[in-house]
Structure 1
Amino acid sequence: MKFLMLTGVLGLWLASASSATLGVVQTEGGKVEGENKNMGLFHSVDVFKGIPFADVPGRWELPKRHPGWDGVLKAIKYQKRCLQVNLLQSSSKGSEDCLYLNIHVPQGRSLSRGLPVMVYIFGGAFLLGASNDVPFLSNSLYDGNEMADRGGVIVVSVNYRVGTLGFLSTGDARMPGNYGLWDQHAAISWVKRNIEAFGGNPDNITIFGQSSGAASVNYQMLSPYSKGLFRRAISQGGVALSPWAIQRDPMAMIKKIARKVGCRSTNIEEMLMCLKITDPVGITMAAKLNLLLMLGPVMNLLELSPVVDGDFIPDHPSRLFNNTADIDYLAGVNSMDGHFFAGIDVPSINKRKTETTANEVKKLISGLTKEKGAAAIQSTYSVYSAHWGSVPQQDVIKKTVVDIETDFLFLVPTQIALQLHANHARGARTYSYLFDMKTRIPGFPSWVGAEHAEDLQYVFGKPFDIPLIYFPSHRKLSANMIAYWTNFAKTGDPSKGDNKVPAPWPAFTVNRHPYLVINSKITKASVRYDLRSEYVRYWTDTYTSLPFVTTDQRTDPNHN
């Protein structure tokens, strides 16, 4: 009898110890019902997967509002990604019906109300990716449950069109481009209109993203269409000023794609009409990357990206930072964001028994700086080899290759964006960081630091989600990153909020340039100043002042 009574009391206690849950939620398109995931005593996360934020998009048309649905939409599984090439560039996957988002709402004993909202934009070179991408054992890397639960914010992840269907453009009004950016805008707008019903504060939205998603975040900040749409933004490893983040010759790209799919008319209108009736899979595969035909750095293959369309992006990104004056901005890079690219461009850097020669370094520089010719090769090489000494060690040379690509593709453009933001800010704050946790990827040389995208596992709380493959130091780092990121979303200051942080993070201003070094041992000494300022000055002053050269003046360092 006592056992039965104890069991009954325990059952009642467990029932009362469970958290609140939203159940059915009314949105502008209709009712949705997700699932409640238990995260521990008195707390859980309501998860809604695959909510449509727009109708099936027309080919190279702007997204339109979804017509809605009858009954209750069971939002319990991810919907298809947008049509794209696969990672190996061997086939396509996804669908043109792909404009869906996912919502993670943390709950306690009572229903959440007025929570800050963080909208995540995935990366993938504007060519591939999805809101539920990168399988991470039993879950997606971008699963927002841990971040929502530990940070006390609503996390939203969104799909958008990529590749040819998202970024093909004529460079004029006939096919302006930027359809993927318009999709992101439509998703953020949907969140603004609907998130209150999920317990969110529509007046406190932060957008964040990584790589091309980080550049997309920057583009959303710069667009005049975003005024009043969100309050804060975080760019992790990419900005609109990154050389891979803007299409320089969209007409040449669209003609190349048209030739590949048999739309060979020299009349542009006829060519576009042909493209619009061509099989979408064929059009998608026409943009696949062929590393075997690569001439020069892999960056040169990344030809599909946003364009200056005179509308969503009305001018060059560097001239649009006045539109960011009221948006708090936090941006940074990983210490070796360029390592992945450098390993393709100069394969010897990852081979312990293979030397990397000075000539290979010059050849890489030549590919990156071809628009400036021989003078750029020599001046860049001199700056980056200045610390080598007369007999440089191989690790020093190999790390220099990574530094060149990291600086050129990520770090310097990010520092320029931070400076432009600080220059134009009216009450908004600016923050800079360097993520420098040693790589966890096996097989790399011992000198490799933080690889491209390695920060994401910590932001999304994977060391807590999958504890067996991480150490306590990784959980400490993850807890601190979630605290900084979500404090920033709540208050505009990563040091202030209800999540404890290990050290104060000072703001980046017009004249003072502090940055936080993020790893598993953050202390007050982790705040440093003027990140790689010598190299930032080189690329922004010396390199910029060099004259452009014509195609026939460009020099191959092998033929001096």
Structure 2
Amino acid sequence: MRFFTLGLGLLVLLPFLKVLAAPSTSSINSDITLLYYNDLDINTVSQHKGVLLLTPRSQPDADSSCAGLSETLLPVNETFFTTELATLLQYQVYEGAYSESQLYWVESNAAACNAVDSLGYVGQISCEIELPTLCSQSSAFDASADSANLLTVYANDLIVTGYRDQLSFRFEGIPYVDPPVQCVQAGAPDSSEDCLFLNIWTPYIPLDAATVSEENLKPVMFYIHGGAFTSGTGADPSLAGGNMVSRGDIVVVTINYRLSTLGFLALEDGKTNGNFGLADQIAALDWVREYITAFGGDPNRITICGGSAGAASVRALLGSPEAIGKYAAAIPMSNLAGSDYATTYSLYYTIPEEVQAAVYPILEEIGCNITNALACLTAYDAYDLVNLVNVARFIVVDGTIITHDELPLNGSAPVANVHTLMGYMRDDGAAFIGYPTTTNITQALIDQYLPTTVANSSLFVPPTGPNATLDVFNLTARVATDIEFRCLDQATAYSALKHDLFESIWFYQFNRSYQTPGFSPNYPVCDAPITAEYPYGDPSMEYFKCHSGELYFVFANLASSLPYRDDEDLPFSQQMVDVWTAFVRTYNPNPDPAYLLVRGYTSQLEALTSQDEWLPVTNETLTTTPLRTLQYQSFMTAFAEQEQCEFVGYPLDYFG
């Protein structure tokens, strides 16, 4: 079984298990928890040590169990024990796993058996007492799979082998359904037709999924990647879940789903009804609900999350009868809605409308006609099909997965009554327009299909800086952000509140970004300006906070790819991981101060206490402070651009 983007993970089904002979929780007769103090600082990785925690047993059995994982009992290190290890063990007390007085087996000397207490102090004790066990964790940061770090999980009828690195247990390339007929993806000529895989990062593997206590299971973030429904992958390194898992104590799942024409083709033939990509997402969600307990995740605490087209997917699933009831919370990040390119992500075509908008152009491009459309498309090379100029990438009203032309925010039909965290990048629309070639505002608006009425409005006054073309772009980017993101995302929160649709609503505007190298439209406007003092960019200066610019901070994978620009990139990433994982754990994005304290995240505890609490969108805050501006010192404020949104026809009550 081969997948073009996943090279390090190992999926082992029953016929191949004996060859690898990887250890399992059964072979050592214990749960396994990977403990790691994660400050997210790439510069201090070598200073931290991971630890494997096993359930109580005698010292000889403890020694044998560690050896079964290719590790030893944890070597005694006084400095590490009284600092990081003490913090890791105090968290076990905080979680209720063990008491303050609990002792744990560590490496012994020739004279006696050693145990450590929850404060990191070592003493000698009878070797026959049963204590929880601390094993070394020698697998490195961002390690690859090898014979010393493999682990097999038995999940109902599946047998899956993954591995551990310093941050988490990783299981990559797990097929969640049988391979579809065609599944290749644009831009990947070696892609397989077998692409419906998901990836899991987890800090905890239970001994037996059938008997594990629900209290021991971790909440799950189920992430749906973006890419305009035509590209992207859950194996994108910027979406790796290890940092979220080790710092936030959650399970992270990323998925692949069918894209482009293979994922969204719809025909008026009564059977090709489109939304195959959405059906894949729901199938992956069903897989997670069935099997995630074996990987330490709680199937009753799943948060669906996604950015861009992934946010559009989350929005679609919020109204889908096939998905409602299968998750507890939702995080749509930068959902597209409104005019122009953004329209179809939140306002869905009927099947006849998609045939007109997408199918006829596809057929014309490949020389087919509508009478034998399906046969002709099936016979066409799959890779060439997804790389055509014209592709199908639209959610449609198919009557099963999608039953309304938009999320029914007016209360006219069921919507998932779940906790929601939603928002946008401050300049989200800057990525979806071209840079002006003129200083004439009206012409620049016409060129980007933006409403020309704003040209003479006092609500849309461009700045007057030394670069006249950049001044025009400031205006067009602002308008594009309003009509494609900001206005209708805010209107979504407003109507959901007014019709009491969601259990809670938390809303943000992201005001610090670091653009991913693979997506930097209108370069370099989305990058912080470079100066002599800040060779990688100065984020304190003005720059456009563009689409997808939050991902490095939310997943904390910044320093693996790009350098820190200033002394706030790291603490801001710490803050965002703490916020996102707090929501996944508690459905409240305000991190619990007690959690930060016991985990040793004292700098973020100080930052948290120095800024206002994040308030939900309620009837009390709606007219004053419903919006959280996310930057290193975050704050509450009113919904942005409300007068401008009214002017362009997207008021807060747009959805009723």
Whether the TM-score (by the shorter chain) exceeds 0.5 is yes
Match in the other structure for 2:318: 221
**Which whole-Å CA distance do the structure 2 matches of 1:315 and 1:96 have between them?**
31
Offset from partner CA, 1:297-332 (integer Å, 9 cap, x none) = xxxxxx622112222110111426653352111111
Alignment correspondent of 2:239? 142
Alpha-carbon offset, residue 93 of structure 1: 4.9
CA distance in 1, matches of 2:446, 2:203: 51
Q: Secondary structure at the match of 2:507?
A: strand
Distance in 1 (CA, whole Å) between partners of 2:555 and 2:620 is 33
Pair 19,389 (structure 1): closer, same or farther in 2 beyond 3 Å:
closer
Which of the numbers 34, 43, 51 marks the counterpart of 2:162? 34
Q: Does residue 324 of structure 2 align to residue 250 of structure 1?
A: no
What amino acid is aligned across from residue 443 of structure 1 in structure 2?
A: P
Q: How does 1:262-281 map to 2 (within 5 A)?
A: 262-264=367-369, 266-267=370-371, 270-281=372-383
- Looking at structure 1, the residues matched to 458 and 402 of structure 2 have their Cα atoms a distance apart, in angstroms, of 34
- Alpha-carbon distance in 2 for matches of 1:505, 1:285: 44
1:390 to partner: Cα distance:
10
Structure 2 residue aligned with 1:306: 395
Which amino acid in 2 is paired with 1:418? A
Match of 2:431 among 340, 344, 352: 340
What is the aligned partner in structure 2 of residue 18 from structure 1? Answer: 136
Structure 1 residue 335: deviation in Å?
1.0
Letter in 2 for 1:521: Q
2:7 equivalent in structure 1: none
Q: Distance in 2 between matches of 1:316 and 1:511?
A: 31
Please give the per-residue CA displacement for 1:46-73, whole angstroms capped at 9, x wherever unaligned: 00001111111245xxxxxxxxxxxxxx
Instruction: Work out which of the residue numbers 489, 503, 506 in structure 2 matches 1:428.
Output: 503
| 2:200 paired residue among 91, 103, 106 | 103
Q: Partner of 1:54 in structure 2?
A: 177
Letter of the 1:170 counterpart:
L
Aligned pair in 2 of structure 1 residues 330, 227: CA closer, same or farther (>3 Å)? same
Query: Distance between the aligned counterparts of 1:19 and 1:385, measured in 2?
Result: 59
8 Å contact kept, 1:494–1:505: yes
Partner SS for 1:176: coil
Deviation at 1:26, TM superposition (A): 1.5
1:443 matched residue in structure 2: 524
SS in 2 for 1:119: strand
Deviation at 1:493, TM superposition (A): 1.2
1:411 is matched with: 486
Query: Deviations for 1:201-237, whole angstroms, at most 9, x for unmatched residues?
Result: 1100001111111111111111111121001011111
Alignment partners' CA distance in 2, 1:483 and 1:115? 15
For 1:259, the equivalent position in structure 2 comes to: 364
Q: Distance in 2 between matches of 1:384 and 1:131?
A: 44
Q: Which residue of 1 aligns with 2:633?
A: 521
Aligned with 1:437: secondary structure? coil
Specify the SS of the correspondent of 2:428: coil
How far residue 434 of structure 1 moved from its aligned partner, in angstroms, is 0.4
The answer to whether the 8 A contact 1:92-1:285 is kept is: no
SS at match of 2:170: strand
Give a deviation string over 1:485-524, Cα, whole Å, max 9, x none.
11111111111543554541111135633111111222xx
- 1:127/1:357 Cα in 2 relative to 1: closer, same or farther (>3 Å)? same
2:576 alignment partner in structure 1 = 481
* Cα distance change of structure 1 residues 271 and 356 upon mapping to structure 2, 3 Å threshold: same
SS, match of residue 343 in structure 2: coil
Task: Find the aligned partners of 1:467 and 1:275 in 2 and give their Cα distance.
Answer: 42
CA contact (8 A) 1:28 1:194 kept: yes
Is 1:363 aligned to residue 446 of structure 2?
Answer: yes
Alpha-carbon distance in 2 for matches of 1:391, 1:461: 35
3-state SS, counterpart of residue 442 of structure 2: helix
Alpha-carbon spacing, 1:94–1:384, altered in 2? closer, same or farther (3 Å): farther
Question: Which deviates further from its counterpart, 492-501 or 331-340?
Answer: 492-501
Cα gap change, 1:257/1:36 in structure 2, threshold over 3 Å: closer, same or farther? same
Matched, 1:505 2:614: yes
Work out whether residues 126 and 212 of structure 1, in 8 Å CA contact, stay in contact via their aligned partners in 2: yes
1:468 deviates by: 4.7
Among all aligned residue pairs of Structure 1 and Structure 2, give the percentage whose two residues are the same amino acid. 27
- Does residue 153 of the first structure (1) align with residue 250 of the second (2)? yes
Aligned to 2:220: 117
C-alpha distance in 2, partners of 1:283/1:325? 35
CA distance in 2, matches of 1:438, 1:142: 16
In 2, the alpha carbon distance for the partners of 1:543 and 1:459 equals 27
Q: Secondary structure at the match of 1:225?
A: coil
The separation in 1 between residues aligned to 2:582 and 2:171, in whole angstroms, is: 24
* Residues in 2 aligned to 1:417 and 1:106: alpha-carbon distance in whole angstroms: 35
Is there any run of 5+ residues in structure 2 with no aligned partner, and where? 1-73, 78-105, 109-115, 117-132, 139-148, 530-541, 597-604
Q: Distance in 1 between matches of 2:475 and 2:562?
A: 35
**Equivalent of 1:461 in 524, 546, 556:** 556
Aligned equivalents of 1:389, 1:275: Cα separation in 2 = 50
Give the distance between the partners of 1:409 and 1:473, measured in 2 at CA.
30
When residues 480 and 176 of structure 1 are mapped into structure 2, their CA distance, relative to the original with a 3 A threshold, is same
Aligned to 1:83: 184
Provide closer, same or farther for how the CA distance between residues 217 and 543 of structure 1 changes in structure 2, counting only shifts above 3 A: closer
Larger helix fraction of residues? 1
Pairing partner for 1:536 from 645, 648, 655: 645
* C-alpha RMSD of the superposition: 3.4
The reply to whether residue 132 of structure 1 matches residue 235 of structure 2 is yes
- Following superposition, the deviation at residue 411 of structure 1 comes to 1.2
When residues 93 and 448 of structure 1 are mapped into structure 2, their CA distance, relative to the original with a 3 A threshold, is: farther
Instruction: Find the residue that maps to 2:221 and give its secondary structure.
Output: strand
Distance of 1:22 and 1:391 partners within structure 2? 58
Q: Pick closer, same or farther for the CA change 1:156–1:109 going to 2, 3 Å.
A: closer
- Is contact 1:261-1:282 (8 Å) kept? no
Residue type of the alignment partner of 2:368: C
Shift of 1:109: 13
**TM-score normalised per structure 1:** 0.75
| One-letter code aligned to 2:498 | N
Residue 166 of structure 2 aligns to a residue in which SS?
strand
Distance 1:255 1:540, change over 3 A: same
Distance 1:544 1:419 in 2: 7
Query: CA–CA distance in 2 between the matches of 1:52 and 1:102?
Result: 9
1:233-244 mapped onto 2 (5 Å cutoff): 233-239=330-336, 242-244=342-344
Structure 2 residue identity aligned to 1:517? T
Cα distance change on mapping 1:223 and 1:153 into 2, 3 Å: same
> TM-score, normalised to structure 2's length?
0.65
Cα 1:438–1:384, aligned 2, differ >3 Å: closer, same or farther?
farther
Q: CA shift at 1:423, angstroms?
A: 2.8
Which residue among 366, 388, 410 is the counterpart of 1:286?
A: 388
- Is the 1:463–1:470 contact (alpha carbons within 8 Å) kept by the matching residues of 2? no
Deviates more, 1:221-230 or 1:27-36: 27-36
Kept after mapping to 2: 8 A contact 1:422/1:510: yes
Q: Report the Cα offset of residue 364 of structure 1.
A: 3.8
Change (3 A) 1:146 1:240: same
